[in-house]
A = this chain, B = another copy of it.
């Protein structure tokens, strides 16, 4: 059976569709008699308002689009949680989509969202997000999370990955490490680049206190962390100096690294100290527990949504200042050296 429309309800209650609409929406200029008649009719017909139609008429969807590289996994899950909680608090709904690391998909997702959302919350760590910028409907409020999309008109919330990288190195040095290595995220990832830059800067600052340093490129997966360490160990077999501290570009790779080190018979942190990035929940369960830089991923999502919601609430306010979140060093066993 066709679903009931407002028209059906109006007919059933023997009033005009306008009155039916008013009654349903609880406007006050409706006679009590009419209201009850309409509500009864609605109940009888199991009428449920058609959200899409209403949105069209109101030019308001009460939905915001969330575009993430992926919509599952520890990290993104936390973002979603932050966004969800904040959205719920404001009566907004979420249309989520994952771009699966593909700019084309991201563009497609945004197109599909057009006309279904009031604003966009986007996390797009691709270095070349120019294509994205091109499609953004000029008029759609947009907030970016940890991304580097040009001139996002409405605000951005970013992580100071550079500072995080520096912190990691400084911590390792303070622990007495003198031969550092870095396992970086993919070249194409903006955040990965910033972390690497922080690493490089801090190393340069330390100057001669540090022996030569190597950098290995992973892709943020556990497996790639494992592989990079294998490379390092192989190089050491070949005579290269073994590092005594590794700053790994994210926790998942650090977990892989840990695994590879254990397998190689090395002790963490005594032979090699390890620092990750992100503080995913699993980090504290690793053996040894993983030192890392906590980003407050939940906060990232929450504040991102709030920024957007505020922009929506007063559309002609100044675009809010960008928010920068500084990672916080969390020291656990993987980097605590007795030395």
Contact = CB atoms under 8 A, between A and B. Distances in A.
Interface stretch (A28-36, A107-115, A175-183, A193-201): A107-115
Given A84-B72, A96-B96, A115 B53 contact: yes
A84 B95 CA distance: 12
Contact of A3 (B3, B48, B78, B138): B138
A100 B93 CA distance: 14
Nearest to A76: B77
A49 B111 contact: yes
Interface in A1-50: 1-3, 46, 48-50
A139 interface: yes
A326 interface: no
A124 to B, nearest CB: 17
Contacts of A72: 77-78, 80-81, 84
- For the side of the interface on A, what is the size category? 35 or more
A40 to B, nearest CB: 16
Interface in A43-68: 46, 48-56, 61-63
B73 A77 contact: yes
Q: Main SS of chain A's interface residues?
A: mixed
Contacts of A71: 80-81, 84, 94
A241 interface: no
B56 A52 contact: yes
Given A72-B84, A139-B2, A114 B77 contact: no
A146 to B, nearest CB: 17
A322 interface: no
Contact of A95 (B46, B93, B111): B93
Interface of A: 1-3, 46, 48-56, 61-63, 71-74, 76-78, 80-81, 84, 88, 93-98, 100, 109, 111-116, 135, 137-140, 281-282, 285-287
